[in-house]
Homo-oligomer: A and B are copies of this chain.
Amino acid sequence: MIRLDGKQTSNEIKEEIKVTVSEMKARGERMPHLAAVLVGNDGASLTYVGSKVRSCEYVGFDSTLIRLEEDITEDALLAQIDTLNKDESLDGYIVQLPLPKHIDEEKILLAIDPKKDVDGFHPANFGRMALELDAFIPATPFGIMQLLERYKVPTSGKHCVVVGRSHIVGRPISILMSQKGPAGNATVTVAHSRTENLAELTRQADIIVMALGIPEYLTADMVKEGAAIIDVGITRVPNESHPKGYVIKGDVAFDEVAQKSSFITPVPGGVGPMTIAMLLKNTLLARQWNLS
């Protein structure tokens, strides 16, 4: 059994980006520039955004953090988006979610210029990805594809069951793994809450991607010997014996499933750590597409 180490892979990707950036610097090119918009003072959001900004600095990108008041109007936020769209010094930007309840998240995301949408949440990017054009792929599926490719998990002709049909994980990963190309050419089934006989399906799968959000849902009896397991679930489960009062659990009962699997991502330390690396990768792509 091989553990797909997201922390290590994420670090490798960051180092690769760092090298590319230093080459760009040597050629006198402008550095890739990412901006992050943070509305309000949510603690978790602050942590995420802070971590993204520090990662930019680490690889040598320019970064800008734009903090806006919790009570900003939707129109004022849209005006800010318009400014960012027009800012030629900026290759990409993200709007940290969730937004305050008085703001229509969909409206904001649709206002982002798809060419700067390095989160890959805009429908124009989703469509370009599905139609196999250059596109920003959302960080989680992009990260999974990198893990599959770098660990050489066999996918071509294999049966992959994706459990979950969300817009940012289940749906895009199912499309990517079914397309031609690295970590692709799989026969992909999308299962979800309405699926009958899920265990019957997962027991046939060569690869299982769990993106359901139910802790330890996938148990050993649902898995074929030698399957590859990708666990996207991250749920805080209350646990009083733990100093934080909770533990992080994936959608996979790790210990029992690991024994039957060929490859498996741990939680934490699997898919999760890949996301910031993929955001950086998208920002670098935005810069490169801008140049060409």
Which A residues lie at the B interface, using CB under 8 A? Answer: 106, 122-128, 130-133, 156-159, 165, 167, 171, 174-175, 178-179, 185, 187-192, 194-196, 201
Contacts and interface: CB of A to CB of B under 8 A. Distances in A.
B123 A196 contact: no
Nearest to A114: B124
A187 B195 CA distance: 6
Contacts of A192: 178, 185, 187
A96 to B, nearest CB: 19
A106 B192 CA distance: 34
Contact of A171 (B130, B185, B189, B190): B130
Contacts of A125: 127
Contacts of A171: 130, 175
Contacts of A123: 124, 126-128, 130-131, 133
Contacts of A127: 122-128, 130
Copies in the complex: 2
9 residue pairs, one from A and one from B, having the closest CB atoms = A123-B127, A127-B127, A126-B127, A189-B189, A185-B194, A157-B196, A187-B195, A123-B128, A124-B124
Contacts of A106: 133
Nearest to A206: B196
B194 A130 contact: no
Contact of A191 (B128, B130, B131, B187): B187
Contacts of A165: 178-179
Nearest to A180: B194
Nearest to A184: B194
B167 A187 contact: no
A137 to B, nearest CB: 12
Given A187-B191, A190-B188, A196 B158 contact: yes
A60 B76 CA distance: 44
